[in-house]
Structures are given as structure tokens and as C-alpha cells.
Amino acid sequence: MSEQEYARDPAKARFAIIQLVRIFGVACVIAGMAIGARKIDLPLWLGYLLIINGLVDVFVVPKVLARKWRSPR
């Protein structure tokens, strides 16, 4: 989609942003699990932090954004 289409319909852009946040959250959880399983050589606390951050990005942030962007009643 072109930027003009997103400019005309803010709902499409908002939907895309929410989906990108969810995808980023899933990527964080996967990276955190890889760190926890010692597949990636980083501190264990960083893996746990990524898992928590990813879960918040998947379950909490999209609801907050949707509520913020809701049409007035």
C-alpha cells in the first residue's frame, strides 16, 4: 500500500502499527527464550527481560493503543 492510502485512512495505518507491535513482541519472546536456553550467549536476566517485554507487547500494548485510538461515541 502506498503512503497516500494510509494518509487517507488512518484506520489502516493504526491496524498496521498494532500488528507490527505484536510481531515485535513475538520476536522478543523468541529471542528471550533462545537466551534462556543458552542458544544465544547473553546474560540470563536479559532473556527474562525480553520475554516479559514481549508478552506485554503482545497482550497489553495493542489493547491500550486500540482504546486510545477508538472513535468517540
Q: How far apart are CA 68 and CA 65, in angstroms?
A: 5
Residue 4: inside a domain, yes or no? no
Residue 46: inside a domain, yes or no? yes
- Name the amino acid, one letter, at 22: R
Quickly state the pLDDT bin for 2 (edges 50, 70, 90): low
Residue 8: inside a domain, yes or no? no
Tell me the residue range of the domain where 28 lies.
18-66
Q: How many domains does the chain have?
A: 1
Say which residue, 55 or 7, is predicted with more confidence.
Answer: 55
Q: How far apart are CA 18 and CA 61, in angstroms?
A: 8
The whole-number pLDDT of residue 73 equals 76
Integer angstrom CA distances of residue 65 from 14, 27, 42, 58: 8, 19, 31, 12
The whole-number pLDDT of residue 5 equals 63
* Pick from 20, 23, 15, 26: nearest CA to 66: 15
| pLDDT per position as a tens digit, 11-54 | 899 999 999 999 999 999 999 999 999 999 999 999 999 999 99
The whole-number pLDDT of residue 32 equals 98
